[in-house]
Structure 1
Amino acid sequence: MSQSLNNDADILIVGGGLSGTMLAVQLLRLPGKRRVLVIEPRAELGRGEAYSAVELGHTLNGNAARMSVDPDNADDLTQWLTQYIAEGGWPESDQQPVPISELFPPRGIFGLYAQQRLQEARAVGALNGSTVEHVRAEAVDLRTDAETVHLTLNDGRRLQGAFAVLATGMFPAARTPQTESSGLNAAALDPWDVATMRQLDPRSTVLIIGSGLTMVDAVVSLEQAGHRGPIEVFSRHGLLPHVRRQPPAWVDFLAEDYSIRSPRQLMRELRRHCRDAIAQGIDWQAPLDTVRAHIGRLWHQASDVQRRQFVRHVRPWWESHHHRSPPLSAELVARLYKEGRLSIHAASFKGLEPSTGHEVSIRLRRRGDVQSCVVTGAALINSSGIEYDWRRVARPLPRQLLARGLVQPGPLALGIAAEVDGAVLNADGEAASRLFAMGPPLRGMWWESTAVTDVASQAKALAERLVLGETR
Structure 2
Amino acid sequence: MNVETHAPMQSPQGPDTAMRDGVQRVTVVGAGFSGTLTAIRLLHFADSPLEICLVEREEGYRYGGIAFGQASTNWAHMLNIQAGRITLRRERPEDFLEWANEEADRSGWPRKWQYHTFGVACVVPRRIFRQYLAERLRGAVADAHADVTLRELTGEVFDVRAQGGGYVVRYADAGPQGTVHELPSDQVVLATGHLSPVQAPFYHRVKDSDRFIADPYAPGAQERFQAVGPEETVLVTGSALSAFDAVISLVHAGHRGRILICSRGGHLHGTYPVDHEHDIWQTRRPPFLDAERLTPEVVVEGIRAEYAHLREEHGVEPGSALDAVFPERVMKAWEPYVIELVSRMDARDVRMLLDRYKSLIVTRRTSTVREIGGVVRSRMRGFNGAPKTVEVLSARIQDMRPVEDGARIRVVFADQPDVVVDRVVNCLGNNTDYEHPGHPLWQGLVHGYGYARPQTRTHRGVEVGTHGQLVTADGTIAPGLFGVGPMRQGDETTRRGRLGAFVFSIGTLRNQCFDTAMEVLRRLKSASDEEQMDIPDGIHHCLIRSSDWIAADLLTEEPDATRLRERLLAHARETAFPNAVNHLQAQDRTERAKYRRILDDDLAEFGAALAREFGLTAQQARRAVSLLATLVEKHAVHTLCDITRLAGWDSGYAEQVKHAPKKGE
Say if 2:271 and 2:324, in contact at 8 Å, map to a contact too: no
Matches within 5 A, 1:39-54: 39-43=55-59, 45-52=62-69, 53-54=72-73
Matches within 5 A, 1:389-408: 389-404=433-448, 405-408=450-453
Q: Helix, strand or coil for the counterpart of 2:186?
A: strand
- Superimposed CA distance per residue, residues 238-263 of structure 1 (whole angstroms, 9 cap, x where no aligned partner): 11111134534656315x86999797
Matches within 5 A, 1:238-277: 238-245=266-273, 246-248=275-277, 250=279, 252-253=281-282, 269=306, 272-277=309-314
- Aligned match of 2:458: 412
Matches within 5 A, 1:75-114: 75-83=94-102, 89=109, 91-93=111-113, 100-114=119-133
1:59–1:15 distance in 2 versus 1, CA, 3 Å: same
Matches within 5 A, 1:249-398: 250=279, 252-253=281-282, 269=306, 272-279=309-316, 283-284=322-323, 288-290=327-329, 298-301=337-340, 302-303=342-343, 304-305=345-346, 307-308=350-351, 310-312=353-355, 314-339=357-382, 340-366=388-414, 369=415, 374-398=418-442
In the TM superposition, residue 156 of structure 1 has moved relative to its aligned partner by: 1.0
- Aligned match of 1:169: 193
Give TM-score scaled by structure 2 length. Answer: 0.63
- Aligned match of 2:594: none
In the TM superposition, residue 388 of structure 1 has moved relative to its aligned partner by: 1.5
Say if 2:202 and 2:399, in contact at 8 Å, map to a contact too: no
Matched residue type, 1:191:
P
Which protein shows a greater Rg? Answer: 2
Say if 2:31 and 2:54, in contact at 8 Å, map to a contact too: yes
1:147–1:140 distance in 2 versus 1, CA, 3 Å: same
- Aligned match of 1:431: 477
Q: Distance in 1 between matches of 2:395 and 2:326?
A: 31
Matched residue type, 1:104:
V
Q: In the alignment, which of 191, 206, 210 is matched to residue 238 of structure 2?
A: 210
Structure 2 runs not aligned, ≥5 long? 1-6, 173-178, 383-387, 494-501, 528-665
CA RMSD of aligned residues (A): 3.2
1:110–1:285 distance in 2 versus 1, CA, 3 Å: same
1:149–1:456 distance in 2 versus 1, CA, 3 Å: same
Q: In the alignment, which of 46, 49, 52 is matched to residue 36 of structure 1?
A: 52
Matches within 5 A, 1:151-190: 151-154=169-172, 155-171=179-195, 173=197, 182=204, 185-187=207-209, 188-189=212-213, 190=215
1:181–1:356 distance in 2 versus 1, CA, 3 Å: closer
Bigger drift between 143-152 and 203-212 goes to 143-152
Q: Distance in 2 between matches of 1:131 and 1:259?
A: 55
In the TM superposition, residue 295 of structure 1 has moved relative to its aligned partner by: 7.0
Q: Distance in 2 between matches of 1:86 and 1:159?
A: 34
- Aligned match of 1:116: 135
- Aligned match of 2:165: 147
Structure 1 runs not aligned, ≥5 long? none
Matched residue type, 1:230:
R
Percent identity over the alignment is 20
Larger relative contact order, structure 1 or 2 (CA cutoff 8 Å, min sep 6): 1
Bigger drift between 378-387 and 296-305 goes to 296-305
In the TM superposition, residue 381 of structure 1 has moved relative to its aligned partner by: 0.8
Give TM-score scaled by structure 1 length. Answer: 0.87
Say if 1:300 and 1:446, in contact at 8 Å, map to a contact too: no
Q: Helix, strand or coil for the counterpart of 1:244?
A: coil
Say if 1:238 and 1:344, in contact at 8 Å, map to a contact too: yes
Matched residue type, 1:334:
R
Q: Helix, strand or coil for the counterpart of 2:396?
A: strand
